[in-house]
Chain A
């Protein structure tokens, strides 16, 4: 074992606190150890932060989770390939459409399955609607965490409900959509649905204008979020941070451009990048991404072709991929959501792994919170945008 190589430890690994003091210190006073959570409204679920405080400053923070752990990967190994599709809805329950897509994409790569044109367009439409929905909710929750109780969150939820209505009329369920299949989509979208979706997208820009007029220039929000929880681009890359959090630090990495999965290369859109990597940037990136999503949606509705939504050659029953493995990833609203599937030729996957963006993004929670106050830690956690169903799996 080479524990001490020539360059064995990178400087990015250690995260020393501002001062290292014993918990019991008769000279300067004791540090306070507080368990924030798991039942705390600011933790977005059942999440616990073991914080060590010097007065109001955080000296140490250890995230504790697993309260929702149901060993999803083991369940996936004990059911068929398609049987895991409804379970992927329950990972990040805000973004079931993108979870479905990531899983379908991985299995399609495993068996070399193609997807019809119309299904590709519908996937993009639904993924971008999911991005709108997720980022809107995040903005609402972030404002709730800063103490703007109620109103911004309800504004966000009003818009979210319109998108959830679309999902419900298309797939039969508001949040647990279970819509994608290997080789296409489960049902086709009717012309009425397309019209209704276009209407929602057309009104979304107006909502964003209104929301931004209320929030973005707000002095209290700026005071609470600017220069709070700064993340350096080097640490973000090393820690595997993805999604809006990574781009808020100024690193240009969006899988829609890099991998160009699906039909994303056909659309014109830009990747907003942050400058400071603080909480305000993370909020702002999401607002800007929503505006880009609206652009993608308008182009997708304009070009949406007719035709089938399911590849007629795709196999639903007796689906047994040949031995092999594949790793597929897409740009989910929270970051890179990836699936890793190993097949041994049987109807069940031999190994079924989810690469959850929220889980990996939590790695640097301590680094961002050290030296900040408890109230700031709440906002920083809110700006990471975690969903515990995905963290704990």
Chain B
């Protein structure tokens, strides 16, 4: 199998001007990955699937990774020579920059036809709130169907062109995305509006908390009179 650098060069020749970058993986596995531009990702995916040298017909694993916004402190050391001729002093300068947050989708591709792999491709969203749309690769590999739904459910990445993008593990009414790093779990998972709550709300609106009669007698407990004597229903 060709190396990732060769594949990268071939992809750049096939898609001129595309911003395809190689993400290095320092672990001993050396499973490096390709970062694809969103606009061309599906075309590149079709190329990877159909190219006779690659034939990556099997998309094994699809998953998301959340990278929240983080502050990076960089230290630069500059050596300042002493004008008097003494030992030079080293001046440390710390600069802080904020790396914007992003969501990432990772696909692990293998080839069943020629038994090779993995080729790992990634896509990154613009940020974590508004620009969370990436193209769906379900039209290329059917195995992405449920796994992309899971990434949508747990990370909040929207896949454009997915045939059936719904929540899959959490229930449909659920609001947040639990696999995000800043997710805060609710106090009570089980709470849901019940008829009981609706009835209480109706009763609260029907019986005013402080009846006008109580204002005249400040000593009397207000709620007791209010609830003890409900107004009689209107007579027909």
Contacts and interface: CB of A to CB of B under 8 A. Distances in A.
Query: Is B truly associated with A?
Result: yes
Interface of A: 1-3, 5-10, 12-14, 65-66, 69, 71, 73-74, 109-112, 235, 237-242, 251, 253, 258, 321-327, 329, 336, 338, 340, 342-343, 350-351, 353, 355, 359-360, 362-364, 392-393
Given A327-B118, A360-B147, A340 B108 contact: yes
B143 A360 contact: yes
Contacts of B38: 1
A323 to B, nearest CB: 6
8 contacts: A1-B39, A13-B142, A65-B169, A69-B169, A237-B58, A325-B29, A355-B61, A393-B169
Contact of B29 (A7, A69, A239, A326): A326
A342 to B, nearest CB: 7
Interface of B: 25-29, 31, 38-43, 46, 57-61, 63, 65, 106, 108, 112, 115, 118, 120, 133, 135, 138-143, 145-147, 154, 160-161, 163, 167-171, 178-179, 183
B60 to A, nearest CB: 6
A238 B61 contact: no
A69 B189 CA distance: 13
A1 B112 contact: no
A321 B27 contact: yes
Nearest to B178: A71
A353 B27 CA distance: 17
B135 A326 contact: no
Given A9-B139, A338-B61, A340-B63, A2 B112 contact: no
A73 to B, nearest CB: 6
A323 B169 contact: no
Contacts of B57: 237-238
A235 B112 CA distance: 13
Nearest to A364: B142
B106 to A, nearest CB: 7
A235 B142 contact: yes
A359 B140 CA distance: 19
A280 to B, nearest CB: 23
Given A8-B139, A66-B171, A355-B61, A2 B26 contact: no
A235 B179 CA distance: 30
Contacts of A74: 178-179, 183
A355 B60 CA distance: 8
A161 B223 CA distance: 66
Pick from B27, B141, B145 the residue with the most CB of A within 10 Å: B27
A66 B42 CA distance: 29
A325 B106 CA distance: 12
A327 B169 contact: no
A363 B142 contact: yes
Nearest to A239: B142
A201 B28 CA distance: 37
A237 to B, nearest CB: 5
A238 B178 CA distance: 29
B25 A325 contact: yes
Given A71-B179, A363-B146, A353 B63 contact: yes
A260 to B, nearest CB: 11
Contacts of A360: 143, 146-147
B133 to A, nearest CB: 7
A323 B39 CA distance: 30
Nearest to A241: B143
Contact of A353 (B28, B46, B61, B112): B61
A14 B145 CA distance: 11
Contacts of B118: 327
Given A6-B43, A327-B108, 4 more contacts: A240-B60, A240-B141, A325-B27, A338-B108
A81 B120 CA distance: 23
B42 A2 contact: yes
Pick from B31, B38, B112, B133 the residue with the most CB of A within 10 Å: B112
Nearest to B135: A1
A5 B58 contact: no
A251 B57 CA distance: 12
A253 B55 CA distance: 15
B143 A363 contact: yes
Contacts of A351: 63, 65
Contact of B59 (A13, A65, A240): A240
A14 B161 CA distance: 12
A363 B60 CA distance: 13
B65 A323 contact: no
A31 to B, nearest CB: 19
Contacts of B178: 71, 74
Contact of A240 (B27, B29, B58, B171): B58
A362 B146 contact: yes
B120 A112 contact: no
A60 to B, nearest CB: 12
Nearest to B108: A327
Given A1-B39, A1-B133, A329-B60, A110 B29 contact: yes
A279 to B, nearest CB: 20
A358 to B, nearest CB: 11
A235 B167 CA distance: 24
Contacts of B146: 359-360, 362-363
